[in-house]
Amino acid sequence: MKRLVARSQNRTKRVQMGNEAHLECYSGENVTVFWSKIDQTTKEEQEITVNETTLHFDKRFKSTKHVKTKKWVLSIKYTQRSDEGIYACHIHTDPPETQYVQLILVVNLEW
């Protein structure tokens, strides 16, 4: 019996609050990728996209595939404080892989 072991990678992305955030996930060819956000209190995941289909009610979220770089990008327009947190990019490969991106929003304190 073949044993599946999930691989994971972690990154941090800092974005000016109010700007658009682009979270990157690298995958292989012809795989299903879905993005979710992890609730820091309950640790439950809320699915946001599957491939280029947005499941989240908030249409500020969009997932795009870049064929040349084998990269999926989750874009979040007009970032808000509630967007901060850990996002998971689940890649359906054998073995499965999850890449985590922590989104940190910063406020420009220059007057």
Residue 50 tokens, joined? 């599957």
Segment 93-110 shows an average pLDDT of 87
- Sheet with 71-76, edge to edge strand ranges: 21-26, 71-76, 61-66
Quick one: pLDDT at residue 109? 56
pTM: 0.86
For 41, which DSSP code? T
CA–CA distance, 16 with 110 (Å, rounded to integer): 12
Q: Over the stretch 4-51, which tens digit does the pLDDT of each residue have? A: 334 446 789 999 999 999 999 988 778 899 999 999 889 999 999 999
Residue 8 DSSP class: E
Chain segment 46-99, per-residue pLDDT in tens: 999 999 999 978 889 999 998 888 899 999 999 999 999 999 999 998 888 999
On the question of pLDDT at 110 being above 80, the answer is no
Is the pLDDT at 105 greater than 90? The verdict is yes
The confidence score (pLDDT) of residue 30 equals: 81
Report which DSSP code applies to 70: T
In terms of Cα–Cα distance, which of 83, 110, 111, 88 is closest to 99? 88
Compute the distance between CA of residue 17 and CA of residue 81 in angstroms, rounded to an integer.
7
Q: Is the peptide bond before 95 cis (omega within 30 degrees of 0)?
A: yes
Q: Determine the 3-state secondary structure of 111 from DSSP.
A: coil
Q: Domain 17-106's class?
A: mainly beta
